[in-house]
Amino acid sequence: DAKTTQPNSMESNEEEPVHLPCNHSTISGTDYIHWYRQLPSQGPEYVIHGLTSNVNNRMASLAIAEDRKSSTLILHRATLRDAAVYYCILRDARGGSNYKLTFGKGTLLTVNP
């Protein structure tokens, strides 16, 4: 599986935008980029995913570099509830196991009031 690299931790202030980076220099053409987050003492939850184009949903935006070797999850206005571990995951869309995810350690986001 292609690997991702994320900072161990980041801090932000409430109501400010947050840009969470992810490097995936060995990404293949069939890898989707997924982001999940895990709030304290909860299971992970889906945030967003994309393939080549930037994506927006009610939770966040995903900006994908033109060469696809990196991506950035953007939280437009951080709230205290956004404090969580954020996982950037590549999912291979080929073959019979295209539904599986491999979680790394993620980025621990701290939001200061």
Partner 1 sequence: NAGVTQTPKFRILKIGQSMTLQCAQDMNHNYMYWYRQDPGMGLKLIYYSVGAGITDKGEVPNGYNVSRSTTEDFPLRLELAAPSQTSVYFCASSYSSTDRSYEQYFGPGTRLTVT
Which residues are near partner 1 by CB under 8 A? 32, 34, 36, 41-46, 49, 87, 91, 93, 98-106
Strands (E), the chain: 9-13, 18-23, 31-38, 45-50, 55-56, 61-64, 70-75, 84-92, 107-112
Nearer of residues 9 and 26 to partner 1, judged by Cβ: 9
| In the complex, minimum distance from the CB of residue 15 to partner 1, in angstroms, rounded to a whole number | 28
Nearer of residues 14 and 32 to partner 1, judged by Cβ: 32
One DSSP character per residue, 17-41 reads -EEEEEE-TT--TTEEEEEEEE-TT
Nearer of residues 36 and 111 to partner 1, judged by Cβ: 36
